[in-house]
Homo-oligomer: A and B are copies of this chain.
Amino acid sequence: MTDDAPRPVKTTKTSLAVVRTVRDNDGATLSELADQLEVAKSTIHNHLHTLVEEGFLVREGDTYHVGLQFLPFGEHARDRNPLYAATRRRVYSLSEKSGNEADFIVEENGRAYSLEYAIGESTPRGLSESGPFRAGNRFYMHNCASGKAILASMPEARVREIIGRWGLPATTDETITDEAALFDELEAIRERGYATNNEELIEGYRSIGASITSPDGEVVGAFSIGGPTYRMAVDESTTEEIGQLLVDEIDALETELF
């Protein structure tokens, strides 16, 4: 992560760091924040009060939590995506058909965001806390199936821009960290029609993703299906079957929309 803001606003960054830390800790006290962020308690104190006043944090006793004020902004950002409404039901459908987790991913600013996520039959988002996935989550592009599928459908210049901006950080031993290896992989994805992720994001998790492109050839998102390794067999036929499921769903979507 390279910072390129011209004359950046350090104070705002501090405030955002506070909020991020509160979320990462799932609630934090003033002292905890001062410790972790290594700034004076009085500084944290001021930021906390300001953020509470604005509704972006809530105070419960002496513990601060992420405030619901994020929700209208998050929903606004999500609803802005023209595909969100049309893809939602298909995410549920993919999850049911495959018996695994499914999600709809879009790229923004070189990162992959999950706009909708479903697991199992009638168990939509929020009901299961298992796994690292959940609507709204943000991933790197290079170590998740959807992200790689999207990269594979992008002009090379854009891919270079993204990996220049965010690098290729490893989260497991399997993560692709070499630029040349990544480009080889993207080529393979283009030939195959879908991308795979074998424990490249987290150990014990495997997934398959395929990208959605608009009529003018621009990639606009991706679906992926994934689950624990014991449920997602690694053999060729299972992979092909799920890959085909995705490709079919995307064909249907593209027919519906375009």
Question: Are A5 and B49 in contact, with the CB atoms below 8 A?
Answer: yes
Question: Are B66 and A71 in contact, with the CB atoms below 8 A?
Answer: no
Please name the residue on chain B nearest to A3 by beta carbon: B53
Q: Determine the chain B residues whose CB is within 8 A of the CB of A66 once the complex forms.
A: 73, 76-77, 80
Question: How far apart sit A49 and B9, CA to CA, in the bound complex (Å)?
Answer: 9
Kindly identify, within residues 1 to 41 of chain A, every residue whose CB is under 8 Å from any CB belonging to chain B. Answer: 3-9, 11-16, 19, 23
Q: Determine the chain B residues whose CB is within 8 A of the CB of A56 once the complex forms.
A: 16, 73
Indicate which residue in B3, B4, B9, B78 contacts A71 across the interface (CB closer than 8 Å): B78
Number of copies: 2
Report the interface size class on chain A: 35 or more
Question: How far apart sit A195 and B126, CA to CA, in the bound complex (Å)?
Answer: 29
Indicate which residue in B50, B71, B109 contacts A12 across the interface (CB closer than 8 Å): B50
Question: Are B15 and A46 in contact, with the CB atoms below 8 A?
Answer: no
* Interface-side segment among A130-138, A152-160, A170-178, A231-239: A130-138
20 contacts between A and B (CB under 8 A): A9-B11, A9-B47, A12-B12, A12-B14, A15-B15, A55-B108, A55-B109, A56-B73, A58-B109, A66-B76, A68-B74, A69-B138, A70-B76, A71-B136, A72-B74, A72-B138, A78-B126, A79-B126, A85-B126, A85-B127
